Amino acid sequence: MSFPLLTATAALPAVGAIATAAVPAARRTAAKWLALFFSLATLVLAVVVLVRFDPDGDRYQLTESRAWISDFGVRYELGVDGIGVALIALTALLIPFIILAGWHDADPLETKSSRWRPTQGFFALILAVEAMVIISFEATDVFLFYIFFEAMLIPMYFLIGGFGDRAHAGSDEKASAQRSYAAVKFLLYNLVGGLIMLAAVIGLYVVAGNFSLQEIAEARANGSLDMATNTERLLFLGFFFAFAVKAPLWPLHTWLPNAMGEATAPVAVLITAVVDKVGTFAMLRFCLQLFPEASKWATPVILVLALISIIYGALLAVGQRDIKRLVAYASISHFGFIILGIFAMTSQGQSGATLYMVNHGLSTAALMLVAGFLISRRGSRLIADYGGVQKVAPVLAGTFLVGGLATLSLPGLAPFVSEFLVLVGAFARYPAVGIIATLGIVLAALYTLVLYQRTMTGPVKPEVSAMPDLRVRELVVVAPLIALLIGLGVYPKPLSELVNPAVKHTMSDVQKKDPKPEVEAAK
């Protein structure tokens, strides 16, 4: 049997989590370096997966299949398509930067007990989340996917509630209560979605007799599995509800601003750039592939919800006074674009949505991590507490500007290509939807540039006059993200060639073809 590369890629951070948690309490620095080592080793394996994957080969590659719970038809089945490979690479790339950015975020303010190991726990939980996210991108057994889709909530709950933002925290009881509220809200929203999905997973087994994504999809395609219309629609809604909570799609989004606002900046990046991508990925892999007719039936309503997310999220971002909550509402708007691209049912829209998942992860990571460095220096998340930062910390201000410009999808930076394709795909089939969605671009420019103007320009406020510029560790975090944003913005071909064949398979699943142009090209 060939080397189980996909299993190893998911198992390595899990082993790292256990090893990091086991480091003695007094060896905090050793725990950090150990976590960083395992994250970099996982990145190496992710690169191997990327190199070995053939975009023009079979739909699912590097597959693994073993018996697991035979009595219930549950198998340990893994496989990746181009979309899964891209998101595994994104996850493995971001985790080392998240660890470096949070290098001191969990250092105890006071060590009252030698048994208290917050640093070890913080980095172990990050690695645990990485392992669960990666295997979620690999799983082709529906039940296996569900287990890790839900299991990742546990470490995320402790990361949000147990390791809050020290910009307003310390030992303050009110801040602690806010963190607890945000963590519980995150958990409850996602648990409710997961319970509804569990009912749909059981219903799918009753109808299909197994949990294998590929077997069920093939049976649907060749007509050997006849699923009643109402049954398919109910099962689709059960899956989609859980994914929409995770995504997050309006009106199931309200947990995100609380979670990102109260978490540390690296954990906020983990939430929106990594964990939330599981929701949109699952819409492509499970909703469209298992329930193609129900997906088309629900498209009009989903497009309306996506439009509301785009405009609502952008409008609330404009009115925010808190830097981190502004980025959170901007992310809600961006996820609206991703879901719009998925359900536009065009190859341009779905390619754009997939690229958007990757590029949004890079741009949000760059902006939020630099914002975290800024907040740690000033000790405040409020926009009004800043001013004139570019005069005292020009490198920090410059990287913050590039991250912000990527967020508003400036041409030449990676998110522009994604957003452009999503809008082209939407215009091709739903012109009115495309026109309304374009308003989100205008609002993005407004909230991003106003944020930069109020924090970085103008007179230097006394509180920031002695603010240090980015340090070496922080530059190591930010510089590669900026380079990727520019590189993929100028030359997105490698990423688009990776995901386009998978998008074609998805379009075939729902039996949709791109609309013909109304005006033929001149010969």
Q: Do residues 86 and 495 touch, judged by C-beta distance below 8 A?
A: yes
Question: What secondary structure letter does DSSP report for 59?
Answer: S
Q: Do residues 399 and 474 touch, judged by C-beta distance below 8 A?
A: no
The pairing of strands 61-69 and 74-80 is antiparallel
Q: Do residues 464 and 387 touch, judged by C-beta distance below 8 A?
A: yes
What is the spatial distance between Cα 200 and Cα 414, in angstroms, rounded to a whole number? Answer: 36
Span 437-456, average pLDDT:
91
Tell me: pLDDT of 66 over 70.
Answer: yes
Beta-bridged to residue 76, according to DSSP, are 66
Q: Do residues 65 and 74 touch, judged by C-beta distance below 8 A?
A: no
pLDDT band at 179 (very low <50, low <70, confident <90, very high): confident
Tell me: pLDDT of 252 over 90.
Answer: no
Q: Which residue has the higher pLDDT, 426 or 223?
A: 426
Percent of residues, the chain, with pLDDT higher than 70: 94
Tell me: pLDDT of 112 over 70.
Answer: no
Tell me: pLDDT of 139 over 60.
Answer: yes
Phi-psi region of 511 (alpha: psi -120 to 50; beta: other; left: phi over 0): left
Span 189-209, average pLDDT:
90
Looking at residue 462, its pLDDT comes to: 85
Tell me the range of 1-5, 67-71, 280-284 where mean pLDDT is highest: 280-284
Residue 281 lies in a domain: yes
Span 259-274, average pLDDT:
90
- DSSP SS3 for 509: helix
Would you state the structure tokens that stand for residue 359, as one six-digit string?
Answer: 């590029």
Residue 89 lies in a domain: yes
What is the spatial distance between Cα 18 and Cα 128, in angstroms, rounded to a whole number? Answer: 8
Looking at residue 110, its pLDDT comes to: 46
What is the spatial distance between Cα 520 and Cα 518, in angstroms, rounded to a whole number? Answer: 7
Q: Which residue has the higher pLDDT, 208 or 152?
A: 152
Domain region containing 146: 5-107+117-509
Q: What is the overall mean pLDDT for the chain?
A: 88
pLDDT band at 463 (very low <50, low <70, confident <90, very high): confident
pLDDT band at 114 (very low <50, low <70, confident <90, very high): very low
Residue 520 lies in a domain: no
**271-284 residue pLDDT tens:** 999 999 999 999 99
Residue 515 lies in a domain: no
**488-518 residue pLDDT tens:** 999 999 999 999 998 888 888 777 776 776 6
Looking at residue 172, its pLDDT comes to: 59
* The total number of structural domains that make up the chain: 1
Looking at residue 460, its pLDDT comes to: 85
Residue 514 lies in a domain: no
Span 291-308, average pLDDT:
92
Tell me: pLDDT of 175 over 70.
Answer: no
What is the spatial distance between Cα 176 and Cα 162, in angstroms, rounded to a whole number? Answer: 9
Nearest to 288 by CA among 336, 230, 220, 223: 220
Tell me: pLDDT of 109 over 60.
Answer: no
Looking at residue 115, its pLDDT comes to: 44
**45-62 residue pLDDT tens:** 999 999 999 988 888 999
Residue 523 lies in a domain: no
Cα-trace Rg, the chain: 22
Looking at residue 224, its pLDDT comes to: 75
**379-394 residue pLDDT tens:** 888 888 888 888 999 9
